[in-house]
Structure 1
Amino acid sequence: MVNLESRNFSLQIQKFENGYFISVTEGSNKLGSMVVSLATGPTPITTTIIPSRTESLFLKLIAERISTRMRGIALVSTFIQKPLESNTAKALMSEIMEMIENE
């Protein structure tokens, strides 16, 4: 659990041999918008599975950053109740990357 600006987020990371599944939820644990990114070459290939109304850039950035760093697949799901402020998004991104690097 991460508390940022009076909002509680649950971060769940499942590591696989060839990538990660990351879930970011606010409130109850639900699947939400989903993006997958695959990094095998110089630039990652990213596809939206379930579109987001408000957080599509956040999803894409997390998926591409993780897949590029790990040279694999990153599947990211977010269920967020209201749009993220830029500071909150940066803090969540930092928290996720720290969790991945410490595994």
Structure 2
Amino acid sequence: MVQVLRFDNGSFVSITEGQEKIGGMLASIATEPVPSTVTIIPPKSESIFLKMMSDYLSSITKGINIVSAFIPQKLDTKTTKVLMTKIKEIIEK
């Protein structure tokens, strides 16, 4: 499940699989030339996916973005692409 809360200066994205829980959490802020990202809660897995998503969101919204993911099992490539596409569609509306 993907949930997005949009704000004037950024967003909060929650990605959960199975149970709705807070998982690993990263925050990014748009800075030049690349976003600045910090880990709030270290993820058990998918840390690269979380960082990419948080950085991407900050780049397009030019704001602060927090991404949380509770993903008990490793994501396959197809699922990762589907999640990224879905989140991009929601944010770019």
TM exceeding 0.5: yes
Under TM normalisation by the shorter chain, which class is it?
over 0.9
Percent identical pairs in the alignment equals 46
In the TM superposition, 1:72-87 aligns within 5 A as: 72-87=63-78
Q: Which runs of 5+ in 2 are unaligned?
A: none
CA RMSD of aligned residues (A): 0.8
| Higher relative contact order, chain-length normalized (CA < 8 Å, sep 6+) | 2
Question: Are 1:96 and 2:87 counterparts?
Answer: yes
Amino acid at match of 1:37: S
Unmatched tracts of structure 1, length 5 or more? 1-9
Q: CA deviation at 1:40?
A: 2.8
Poorly superposed stretches of 4+, deviation over 2 Å: none
Deviation digits for residues 25-67 of structure 1, max 9, x if unmatched?
A: 0012110100001013221000111111211000000000000
Q: TM-score, normalized by length of structure 2?
A: 0.95
Matches of 1:28 and 1:82 in 2, distance apart? 13
For 2:76, the aligned partner's letter is E
- Return the TM-score normalized by structure 1: 0.87
Q: How does 1:1-103 map to 2 (within 5 A)?
A: 10-102=1-93
Greater radius of gyration (CA): 1
Paired residues in the alignment total: 93
